[in-house]
Structure 1
Amino acid sequence: MLDAPTLPLSRKQLRSVAQASARINIWHGAVRSGKTIASLLAFLLAVAEAPPSGLIVIIGRSLQTIERNVVEPLTDTSLFGPVAAQVRHTRGATTATVLGRTVHLIGAADSRAEGRLRGLTAYLAYVDEATLLPEAMWTQLLARLSVPGARLLATTNPDSPAHWLRVGYLDRAAELDLRAWHFKLADNPSLTAAYVTSLAAEFVGLWRRRMIDGAWVIAEGAVFDMYDEQQHVVDTLPTITRHWVGLDYGTTNPFAALLLGLGDDGRLYVVAEWRHDSRKARRQMTDAQYSAALRGWLTGLGIPDPEWTFLDPSAASFLAQLWEDGHPGVTRAKNDVLDGIRSTSTALAAGLLRIHRSCTGLLAELPDYVWDAAAAAAGVDQPLKRNDHSVDALRYVVHSTAAEWRHLLHRQGVSADAAA
């Protein structure tokens, strides 16, 4: 028998653990709502009860997310007490040992990952962040759970109401051998009021409704619906103490560069913008010419050496050109579109991000940056791909520097301004 976790558990958490005996068991809802701890406890009990010959797998978006979201919590004695000592894993390895059993860790970053499941027969599967898996991977996994008593345990945050997991499984729970539990922040008894308030400040708009309220809602309308020209556009700048650059590379499409700075007032400012639209200019530029123009622009601003320059990761040739020309701090931007949108939305909603009026390309794009209605109807969250070059550069630099500014969200001055 396993020892109880060291953290207090709510009635809903305990009930879900006791009832997780269906073929498909799904914990869904808000972030930090207690669903992961409950699901992991159910997983440990299932491992302890699994027959010696039953294959056990953990599946997530990548091996790294499995390690972060599943393995690390399982080895945390503050969560699972002495049981945590019976979970062993070497970082980067594709297997772990849980309660003496070998558990296979499988990343599922794209639809090709589905092939990794073919040929195996599993008794127990744990899926982390289920909505981020390709549907083919989920379908193949269920087919592999073919032995009597086989079970799937999964967690997820809400997504679009048209997502395949919602439409094909959660909405059909009564027809399937499926049990699901919906969690809100109030269902986690270990969270303090101060932490809940701090966490809620990090999510706005669509993400607040999904991650904080735990609602399956559609992405529609303006992506940055919190953007307000009266609040976010400025004519003067404070003293800027740090500088970063975001670049969206284009040859036939516009090339956009933004200079982001940290002001001595504790806010972020888009200080300046440089763009080249080859169609309007009727002249394309080479990588070498772009590199020289970028250096000239920054030198003219008095910022020849920004701390970092974040570039669209797909622009390999231009990245090589910048390295060859000795541009300082050039690196690939973090380019997960939704994560970048969320970071930018958070900074705008908190009143942390301001844009100088001279950045005309960015200011023209922001109001028209909208969710793709056709994609949303298919259960996919993605912005409409049009007139987004400066916005992409903004995503790159804001999200890639999030570790440098996220602590500013909770400063009293910014919080008061955001509430105004």
Structure 2
Amino acid sequence: MGLNNLLTAKQQEVLHAYLKGDFKMMILTGAIRSGKTFIDNLLFLYELRRVANQAKKQGKVHPQYILAGASSGSIQNNIINSLNNQFGINLTPDRHNHFHLFGVDIIPVYTSSIRGLAGARGFDSFGGYINEASLANQEVFQEILNRCSEPGSKVICDTNPDNPQHFLKTDYIDNNNPDVKTVTFCFTIDDNTFLPQDYLQQIKPATPSGMFYDRNILGLWVSGDGVVYQDFDKKRMVIPESKVPDGLHVYCGIDWGFDHKGVITVWGDDNKGNVYLLHEYTSQFKFIDYWVSLAKKIQDEYGHNLTFWADSARPDNVTEFQKAGINCRNANKARMAGVEKVAEFMKQGKFFVNSDGIDKFLDEIYQYVWDENTGEPKKENDDVMDSMRYAVFNEHRQNKTQFINSRYF
């Protein structure tokens, strides 16, 4: 079987650069599903062989190597499970949660927060593999580089694009200083020539316009520009109540407020994959009793089993809802993932709004804009937008039970 049957042209280019060896850090950046992690997992195996041989030459019997990722779960899913599926290599952790292969001690380091700093300190490493590098805390990332101090050590990374002001972009990808010895490869989704054509034909038109398309499909490090929901089409998506179908699966989102607006939005899904904003209730200077009463009226109309996905910043309010017999859960508040999920429905033409049931929705959606400094939506004109995000994102996540506050349920 030839190399062309195993690796894409881009992956072969990366492998050639690795074997040439003239680098200290190799960064693979670009689109989703573009083949970055596959080739990096292969290079990880090459690295472990290199480390084992290097340690033998130096007379070191216990060589160490860093395997870094945002969390233990991401390392397991992106690397450990993939090695088993792709190469038939089953790595199992020892009692210290380390892995071992080819006589190399593989030490996991978790990079998503400053807490990972402790796991990266106190030892010298022959190299490192950093998965999802743009999710790494900068201090933890730098400490990993500091630890890779053995002769000939290298660091390989893969990442999806982020804000162009991200430290990984400014300090490493764009750093042309030859002494830094960083080599970078940028992938687009089309670089993965092994992807099924029907997947490409589905994912491209389904990806929201603007920043999400530029990052996920083209592999570009871009900030958002203008309004967040560029695919919202008022003429087509705002419909009269008479066109809202019956028999919907109903759920709600809550953004708590007092000085700023509080919002409950009511949503419904049909059996064709469409989501409908049925009602939006927005009020200011209202105490919790008002919202409990309103939620009970919604229950009376749609049933007592519907879920209210709530802002977890007010656990006292969540508890009051639960004490009143309302199925209220703490929402996962991941902003970018939530915005992208809502935007996907809009892009696919599966998002509709009951014109007879809204108040501030249209005011907010046209003022909900990107912050070019942070790469995320501005925290302005976002009360209804947050309620929408909590409901739609959490109701369509695969694993929702972990966000139940189980004190009353």
Please classify the TM superposition score into its range, dividing by the shorter chain length.
0.7 to 0.9
1:194 aligns to what? 198
For residues 103 and 194 of structure 1, what CA distance do their matches in structure 2 show? 38
Give a deviation string over 1:229-263, Cα, whole Å, max 9, x none: 11221112111421011111123222111111013
Question: Does 2:387 match 1:387?
Answer: no
Moved more, 96-105 or 241-250: 96-105
Give a deviation string over 1:294-333, Cα, whole Å, max 9, x none: 212442xx113243221112221112122222113x2221
Instruction: Determine helix, strand or coil for the equivalent of 2:109.
Output: strand
CA contact (8 A) 2:253 2:388 kept: yes
Q: Percent identity?
A: 22
Instruction: Determine helix, strand or coil for the equivalent of 1:104.
Output: strand
Aligned-residue offset at 1:371: 0.8
Change over 3 Å in CA distance of 1:266–1:346 after alignment to 2: closer
CA contact (8 A) 1:227 1:367 kept: no
Question: Does 2:324 match 1:319?
Answer: no
CA contact (8 A) 1:9 1:189 kept: no
2:396 aligns to what? 402
Question: Does 2:307 match 1:308?
Answer: yes
Give a deviation string over 1:120-154, Cα, whole Å, max 9, x none: 32222111111111222212211111221111110
Aligned-residue offset at 1:346: 0.7
Change over 3 Å in CA distance of 1:232–1:94 after alignment to 2: farther
In structure 1, list runs of 5 or more residues that go unmatched. Answer: 279-283, 405-420
Aligned-residue offset at 1:162: 2.1
Aligned residues: 382
1:216 aligns to what? 221
Moved more, 394-403 or 36-45: 394-403
For residues 186 and 293 of structure 1, what CA distance do their matches in structure 2 show? 49
One-letter amino acid of the structure 1 residue matched with residue 44 of structure 2: F
Question: Does 2:367 match 1:368?
Answer: yes
Aligned residue among 65, 68, 89 for 1:56 = 65
Change over 3 Å in CA distance of 1:48–1:265 after alignment to 2: closer
Give a deviation string over 1:376-406, Cα, whole Å, max 9, x none: xxxx3221111211100101111112248xx
Aligned residue among 149, 156, 163 for 2:152 = 149
Moved more, 36-45 or 260-269: 260-269
Question: Does 2:257 match 1:254?
Answer: no
1:67 aligns to what? 76
For residues 128 and 308 of structure 2, what CA distance do their matches in structure 1 show? 42
1:31 aligns to what? 32
Aligned residue among 3, 9, 15 for 2:7 = 9
For residues 153 and 47 of structure 2, what CA distance do their matches in structure 1 show? 10
Aligned residue among 181, 188, 205 for 1:177 = 181
For residues 326 and 96 of structure 1, what CA distance do their matches in structure 2 show? 47
Q: Given the two structures, how large is their TM-score scaled by the length of structure 2?
A: 0.87
Aligned-residue offset at 1:159: 1.7
One-letter amino acid of the structure 2 residue matched with residue 350 of structure 1: Q
For residues 55 and 102 of structure 1, what CA distance do their matches in structure 2 show? 5
For residues 297 and 5 of structure 2, what CA distance do their matches in structure 1 show? 57
For residues 142 and 245 of structure 1, what CA distance do their matches in structure 2 show? 46
Instruction: Determine helix, strand or coil for the equivalent of 1:167.
Output: helix
In structure 2, list runs of 5 or more residues that go unmatched. Answer: 56-60, 399-409
Aligned-residue offset at 1:266: 4.3
Aligned-residue offset at 1:174: 4.6
CA contact (8 A) 1:335 1:396 kept: yes
Instruction: Determine helix, strand or coil for the equivalent of 2:194.
Output: coil
One-letter amino acid of the structure 1 residue matched with residue 287 of structure 2: M
Instruction: Determine helix, strand or coil for the equivalent of 2:149.
Output: coil
Q: Given the two structures, how large is their TM-score scaled by the length of structure 1?
A: 0.85
For residues 292 and 99 of structure 1, what CA distance do their matches in structure 2 show? 64
CA contact (8 A) 1:173 1:179 kept: no
